[in-house]
Structure 1
Amino acid sequence: MVEVFLNRIATAVPRHEVHGAFRAFAAGQVTARDRALFARMDARAEIARRWSVLEPSEPEGSGTLCGFYRAGAAFPTTRARMARYEAEAPALADAALARLGFAAEASRVTHLVVATCTGFVAPFLDRHLVERHGVPRGVERTLVGFMGCQAAINALKTAWHIVRSDPGARVLVVSLELCTLHLQGSSALEQLLCFLLFADGCAAAIVSAEPAGLRMEGFSSVMLPEAAEMITWRIGDDGFDMTLSGLVPITLAHALPDWEKGMLDGLPAAEVDLWAVHPGGRSILDAVEHGLALHQGALAESRAVLRDHGNMSSATVMFVLAAMMRRAQAGQRGCALAFGPGLSAEAMRFRVA
């Protein structure tokens, strides 16, 4: 059996730090009834910084945000948001590839897998990467689209299958999300909380049979049919509409013990050294910690990524893995775990090479 490795990961964020501006804008839209609850949830979010392709050009607390959203007026159409995605995504991908040191090996890439759920344009990012970075024109391309925050795990799984079937393959995996293009205008608390959480980011990785980095040992998937509407992601006239139920954390906490055996191929959670969990929010991480009875500090990298970057949808778990690879020790076992629409979960088992 061919062994497959996640060799290395590089990450990039836009240059605009927007956490304060987004919080102030949302606070200005909260109804008097929800103001105290909103303030408590803001204080407990455990996010210090977030980054966006949108420049916060207006004073914090004004009725406009980044020249893109305006209180009391119609928010941008889906067409306008997709135009902004098309304009901004390539430069962010370029930044991640530069940090990956991609120029030295672009000609060796045989497969390209792109994951995103926040933008759809054709020709898309795959063509830009071929044209701009010298990837062979015969590269085999795959798009993992609209799978939400778990899409990076699906992209890595696709790369894993490719290398297992062709040991000479060298796969570039890119996960790029511009979540801040899809904020919705509403006084509803559920929508305003998105202004406290989501951000933009990109991760790029190399997957191959070269024995370096993380050995990818297997994947698992699970869906909760009774929770199908707890996380939804639908395309509307005014951007992409997300539903994120407040019941998600407690549902995960109760479901994870039943998932544990299949997710870890029979290994008890206590014997897993490294946990790269998608930080969908502080309450999600608390739920995973509780549901799997993890020791305090087990999700340190996930909490640090949440603090410094917020929730960047599918790219976020790659940021966690990148941070983990910098301190992991040879032989340690690990699990990457992310959640998405459904309610569903994707997991990747790995061992440090």
Structure 2
Amino acid sequence: MEIVMFTRGVKLVDFYCSDHGKAISNADLYQDIEKTVLPTLSDESRKLYQKLLLDNPERSRHVTHDIAYIASITDRSERLKLYEESIRGLMVDAVAGLFKQAGVGPDNIDFIVVTSSVGKTMPSAASIIASEFGFASKTVTLNLGDMACSSGLAAVDAGVRFLRSERAPKRCLVVALEAVTNLFNQSEYGVVPNVVFGEGAAAILLSTHREPAKYAIKESVRTIAAHKEAYEVIRFTENEKGPSIRLSRELPQVAAGAIKDNLQQFVPRVVSPWDKLRFLVTKKIPDWQNRLEYWALHPGGTAVLNGLARNLKLAQGNLAFSFRVFDQRSNMSSPSIFYVLREIEMHGPKKRDRVLMMSFGSGFKVNTMLMKRLSSARPERSVVIELKAMNGQLHCHTRQQSSGSETATDNLFQADLATLDPKVIANDVWKRTLGVNQFRICPSVSRDLSSERYRSLVQELRGLLMPKGSLTEL
């Protein structure tokens, strides 16, 4: 375990998440797999594909090439060519987007750190970036790999270490990318990875110059659970059908233990002196969650996020940004955490708000990083839910707000008041919104429900509120 306290004013100036490629829903992916893969699999694997994809047919991911096309390529050398083509497109889009957004170029960069875990190229991915954009020969490059979902923050940490080692102000470009279609495997071992993962790339600009920036990087804690069970839970494997990622059934248990160990090192750095003293005496982690405004946790999957919410004693709404990324993009491994940060930016964090970022992956490694917002961001969108009772029915309407303007009201759903179950109502709202900024409850709801069921409904709905959300009883 190693703890780093950043004292030289390293800042995250800006970042950009690529939308290169095309979105493909679970339903569309199932159609492709039904044509190309299912006929060769056992009944058990076919049923698993059906369950994982069709129970939530609208969940999506981005891919740079059609799955049917990828499935048709069995030659390993052709697959490698396709992989290099994919990562080149992702990286160029991410870096070009960052340069345009931040107003910098190759001449302003001193270090390049690139991380990717699902394929290999020679020259490295960092060399591809250097040659595509014409970086100076003095630019120092570092290519990381094989740390899977934990490596996005590990790459940022490496960039910070580069910058802190220099006497003069410098800038570092960090790129996290994964082209997971390189791992598309047509055997039974490929079922879960083929469903869970998607593609993406993020470019991040770090700096010690005196210049405007989005975040100050305050703390970083990196830990590894160095025992055999933890080592085995995520493995890269290869068979006659190609490479794949194998996920063990023990993964949730190992991840929970590793995250707990990491937080025992991290939490004392974000709590009050009194909490620190109590922790030293009792070794009991204090109630520290309310000290943080935002949570950016790796969107490893719905079950993973639900488990994190339970273990960290957080409401679902606190992790809405991570749930949304998994729903829209699936698990992109290393860059995923920055797509979560993009969702937080759309929410409009205020100056001095703190964001806890956490990623975890093979090894078993856990990385946490604390960042503080240096200026306020303008909210880009919000979800407002209005509930009213009428003619024996609970009417649930949604109002989408974008850049300060409120759009027309949409009818989300209706429910019979006589048989209303607060947990079912909350679950229906969550499935349709994945987080709510504001609830407005009309007086008719408290009038037509028993006091016990009304209190239960309010309690359930509060758990869906995103950070700084509100529930107003009109």
TM-score, length-scaled by structure 2: 0.66
**Residues 1:219 and 1:239: Cα distance change in structure 2 (over 3 Å):** farther
Q: Please tell me the residue identity of whatever aligns with 1:149.
A: C
Per the alignment, residue 149 of structure 2 pairs with 149
**Residues 1:17 and 1:325: Cα distance change in structure 2 (over 3 Å):** closer
Per the alignment, residue 89 of structure 1 pairs with 87
Greater mean deviation of Cα atoms: 106-115 or 268-277: 268-277
- Which secondary structure does the structure 2 equivalent of 1:349 belong to? strand
Per the alignment, residue 13 of structure 1 pairs with 19
In the TM superposition, what is the alpha-carbon distance from 1:127 to its structure 2 partner?
2.6
Query: Which of 70, 73, 83 is the aligned partner of 1:68?
Result: 70
Q: Please tell me the residue identity of whatever aligns with 1:17.
A: A
**Residues 1:239 and 1:315: Cα distance change in structure 2 (over 3 Å):** farther
Q: Is the 8 A contact 1:81 1:239 kept in 2?
A: no
Q: Please tell me the residue identity of whatever aligns with 2:338.
A: M
Q: Please tell me the residue identity of whatever aligns with 2:349.
A: A
Q: Is the 8 A contact 2:351 2:373 kept in 1?
A: yes
Q: Please tell me the residue identity of whatever aligns with 2:296.
A: A
Q: Please tell me the residue identity of whatever aligns with 1:51.
A: H
Q: Is the 8 A contact 1:51 1:201 kept in 2?
A: yes
The answer to whether structure 1 residue 260 and structure 2 residue 263 are counterparts is yes
Q: 1:268-283, aligned counterparts within 5 Å?
A: 268-283=288-303
**Residues 1:236 and 1:160: Cα distance change in structure 2 (over 3 Å):** farther
Q: Is the 8 A contact 1:252 1:291 kept in 2?
A: no
- Which secondary structure does the structure 1 equivalent of 2:84 belong to? helix
The answer to whether structure 1 residue 229 and structure 2 residue 237 are counterparts is no
Greater mean deviation of Cα atoms: 169-178 or 77-86: 77-86
Per the alignment, residue 198 of structure 1 pairs with 197
In the TM superposition, what is the alpha-carbon distance from 1:104 to its structure 2 partner?
3.5
Per the alignment, residue 428 of structure 2 pairs with none
Distance 2:212 2:58 in 1: 36
Q: 1:336-347, aligned counterparts within 5 Å?
A: 336-347=357-368
Q: Is the 8 A contact 1:92 1:202 kept in 2?
A: yes
Distance 1:236 1:169 in 2: 45
In the TM superposition, what is the alpha-carbon distance from 1:307 to its structure 2 partner?
1.1
Deviation digits for residues 121-168 of structure 1 (CA, Å, limit 9, x no counterpart): 122332332233232221000001121111111110011111222251
The answer to whether structure 1 residue 207 and structure 2 residue 206 are counterparts is yes
Q: 1:85-124, aligned counterparts within 5 Å?
A: 85-102=83-100, 104-124=104-124
In the TM superposition, what is the alpha-carbon distance from 1:204 to its structure 2 partner?
0.6
Distance 2:55 2:268 in 1: 35
**Residues 1:22 and 1:37: Cα distance change in structure 2 (over 3 Å):** closer
Distance 2:186 2:48 in 1: 19
Q: Is the 8 A contact 1:305 1:320 kept in 2?
A: yes
Distance 2:264 2:213 in 1: 27
Q: Please tell me the residue identity of whatever aligns with 1:192.
A: V
Distance 2:147 2:52 in 1: 27
Q: Is the 8 A contact 1:6 1:216 kept in 2?
A: yes
CA RMSD of aligned residues (A): 2.4
Distance 1:47 1:289 in 2: 23
In the TM superposition, what is the alpha-carbon distance from 1:238 to its structure 2 partner?
5.1
Q: Is the 8 A contact 2:10 2:160 kept in 1?
A: yes
Distance 2:242 2:165 in 1: 38
Query: Which of 59, 67, 77 is the aligned partner of 1:48?
Result: 59
Q: Is the 8 A contact 2:221 2:262 kept in 1?
A: no
Q: Is the 8 A contact 1:278 1:317 kept in 2?
A: yes
Distance 2:76 2:149 in 1: 20
Per the alignment, residue 330 of structure 1 pairs with 351
Q: Is the 8 A contact 1:172 1:205 kept in 2?
A: yes
Query: Which of 26, 43, 63 is the aligned partner of 1:32?
Result: 43
Distance 2:328 2:197 in 1: 12
Q: Is the 8 A contact 2:217 2:369 kept in 1?
A: yes
Q: Which runs of 5+ in 2 are unaligned?
A: 1-6, 271-287, 375-474
Q: Is the 8 A contact 2:297 2:358 kept in 1?
A: yes
**Residues 1:39 and 1:240: Cα distance change in structure 2 (over 3 Å):** closer
Q: Is the 8 A contact 2:258 2:364 kept in 1?
A: no
- Which secondary structure does the structure 2 equivalent of 1:299 belong to? helix
Q: Is the 8 A contact 1:78 1:240 kept in 2?
A: no
Distance 2:57 2:120 in 1: 31
**Residues 1:340 and 1:294: Cα distance change in structure 2 (over 3 Å):** same
Q: Is the 8 A contact 2:30 2:49 kept in 1?
A: no
**Residues 1:272 and 1:87: Cα distance change in structure 2 (over 3 Å):** same
Q: Which runs of 5+ in 1 are unaligned?
A: 56-64
In the TM superposition, what is the alpha-carbon distance from 1:35 to its structure 2 partner?
5.1
The answer to whether structure 1 residue 247 and structure 2 residue 268 are counterparts is no
Q: Please tell me the residue identity of whatever aligns with 2:299.
A: P
